[in-house]
Structure 1
Amino acid sequence: MAKNRTGRVGEQIKKELSVLIQKELKDPRIGFVTVTGVDVTSDLSQAKIYLSVFGDEEKKNESLKGLEKANGFLRTELGKRIRLRHTPELIFKIDESIAYGSRIEQLLGEITHEHDK
């Protein structure tokens, strides 16, 4: 039963943070950021936010710094929008799974191309 609740809370945090990052934040360091996933601890004290950032490594780091700076604002707004006793601490992480998946697809394409020759 607790797993179900943490999943629902995680999905709600993901939805609200996506809107907040896209519409409310005015920091020029934050580029095109997509919230790809949220892992919430079972006691709802921490939430790991996985982000996909469009751009190179420098752009990813700048966006991460901008989001860390806006952490207090995001947490406050999240607390207003989601009715929880305690708003979870937000921990931002870059999600490398999309880049990893495209790299695997590229390698498989090269293998197929070589095999056809």
Structure 2
Amino acid sequence: MVDQARARRLSKRIAAIVATAIDHEIKDPRLAFVTITDCKVTADLHDATIYYTVMGEDLDTPPDLQAASAGLEKAKGVLRSKVGAGTGVRFTPTLTFMTDTVPDTARHMEELLERARQADSEVARVAASAKPAGDPDPYKAPRESVEDSESTDVD
């Protein structure tokens, strides 16, 4: 029987241990701008996938994803030992590192939303000065005058 709550607690604990170890204990300069964003543990608690992002040194510098990935692969054994000591589970999960694509996807979604806002404002600008081609309400039936209705009544 799988305990989902235990898996969630373990994944949070693993993410915290790995983030702390990268920040304070591992002295690899390739990991200086790595941020742990999430961790997922399988139902049997044997495998953990750790998601990370990498920032550049400043806003103009692109992140070095290959160097960060190589640094994490090199530190994988040490990090697994830290996870084993910090969690106290019978079987220490194997660690797999994946780049987190959520920030890139969010940035792309923001760009799409901005384009949609610009298109909507352009349509609103054109619609504000538009006039109907024919009657304002072409489906509205014309009213009959009182005189026409009296002359059509036959007793």
TM > 0.5: yes
Q: TM-score, normalised by structure 1?
A: 0.91
Match of residue 29 from structure 1? 30
Q: CA RMSD in A?
A: 1.4
Larger gyration radius, structure 1 or structure 2: 2
- Listed one character per residue, the Cα deviations across residues 68-87 of structure 1 (whole Å, up to 9, x for unaligned) are 00000111111111111111
Matches within 5 A, 1:99-114: 99-114=104-119
Confirm whether residue 44 of structure 1 aligns to residue 41 of structure 2. Answer: no
Count of residue pairs the alignment pairs up: 116
**TM-aligned CA deviation for residue 62 of structure 1:** 0.8
Identity %: 34
* CA-CA distance at 1:114 after TM superposition: 3.5
Alpha-carbon distance in structure 2 between the residues aligned to 1:61 and 1:115: 40
Instruction: Report the alpha carbon displacement of residue 103 of structure 1 after superposing the two structures with TM.
Output: 1.2
Partner residue of 1:74?
79
TM-score, normalised to structure 2's length? Answer: 0.70
Cα deviation code 1:71-108 (max 9, x no counterpart) = 00111111111111111000000001111111111221
Alignment gaps of 5+ in structure 2: 57-61, 123-155
Q: Distance in 2 between matches of 1:107 and 1:86?
A: 45
> By how many angstroms is 1:19 displaced?
0.7
Q: Which has the higher helix share?
A: 1
Structure 1: 4+ residue segments shifted above 3 A? none
8 Å CA contact retained: 1:45, 1:88: yes
Post-superposition offset of 1:115:
2.7
Equivalent residue of 2:52, what SS? strand
Gaps of 5+ in 1: none
